[in-house]
């Protein structure tokens, strides 16, 4: 895990500051899938939900794959990131990580074990910002920007990402890692 970065860009992450109380974004880590003059969008990578993919999409009953809360936009849709460069219609996010693609190809790759569950993440909804909205939120100190790696984005313990990123960013941020999700319970 690396130092904070100063400008949002595709492939960077947003780490919510501890007093952000929004249901979706409290103690969230968001992977920016796209950031440009038209706005920004990404997915929350550290919030698995109780539903499994087989319960949401027909044809995926062969794996008990977890699903993550991606954000408050289009919560009636499934989105995914993966590590395979050879999937038609997928878009690169960063070296070794891709957004979307042909779901039928993904299904067959998972079914035939050409793709392993640890190479893909599914999300309900996404997080989006209109032009300049994310810049305003960064100026308001709602988020800390940082760099990441594929290994950190797709890992075995997503629930600990928020505190781990903060702890590894140095003492100025490490104190936030122990901030309770609800300060009234302190």
Among 61, 47, 109, 67, which residue's Cα sits nearest to residue 84? 109
Q: Does the structure show a pLDDT above 60 at 76? A: yes
**Residue pair 120/66 in contact by the 8 Å Cβ criterion:** no
Q: How much is the mean pLDDT over the chain?
A: 90
pLDDT of residue 168: 85
pLDDT above 80 for 101: yes
Residue-wise pLDDT tens digits, 27-36: 999 999 999 9
Instruction: Produce one character per residue of 60-96: b if its CB has 16 or more CB atoms within 10 Å, e if not.
Output: beebebebbbbbeeeeeebbbbbbbeebeebeebbee
pLDDT at 150 over 90: yes
- Work out the average pLDDT over 65-78: 96
Q: Tell me: pLDDT of 2 over 50.
A: no
Asked whether residue 171 carries a pLDDT value surpassing 90, the answer given is no
Helix/strand/coil for 108 = helix
What pLDDT shows up at residue 180?
62
Q: Pick from 53, 162, 45: which is nearest to 94 by CA?
A: 45
Answer whether CATH 3.40.1740.10 is correct for domain 13-185.
Answer: yes
> Per-residue confidence at 10, pLDDT binned at 50, 70, 90?
very high
- 82: helix, strand or coil: strand
Predicted pLDDT of residue 181: 57
169: alpha, beta or left, given left = phi > 0 and alpha = psi -120 to 50? alpha
Judged against a pLDDT cut of 90, whether residue 178 lies above it is answered with no
What pLDDT does 179 receive?
64
């Amino acid at each position: 895990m690396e130092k904070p970065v100063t400008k949002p860009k595709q492939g960077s992450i947003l780490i919510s500051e501890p007093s952000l109380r929004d249901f979706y974004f409290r103690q969230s880590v968001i992977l920016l899938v796209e950031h440009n003059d038209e706005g920004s969008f990404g997915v929350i990578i550290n919030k698995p939900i109780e539903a499994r993919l087989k319960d949401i999409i027909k044809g995926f009953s062969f794996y008990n794959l977890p699903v993550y809360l991606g954000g408050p936009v289009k919560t009636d849709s499934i989105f995914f990131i993966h590590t395979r460069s050879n999937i038609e219609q997928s878009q690169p996010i960063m070296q070794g990580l891709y957004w979307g693609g042909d779901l039928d190809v993904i299904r067959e790759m998972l079914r035939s074990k050409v793709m392993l569950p640890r190479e893909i993440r599914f999300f309900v909804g996404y997080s989006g910002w209109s032009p300049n909205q994310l810049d305003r939120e960064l100026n308001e100190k709602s988020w800390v920007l940082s760099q990441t790696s594929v290994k950190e984005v797709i890992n075995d313990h997503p629930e600990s990402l928020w505190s781990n990123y903060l702890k590894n960013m140095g003492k100025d941020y490490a104190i936030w890692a122990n901030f309770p999700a609800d300060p009234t319970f302190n």
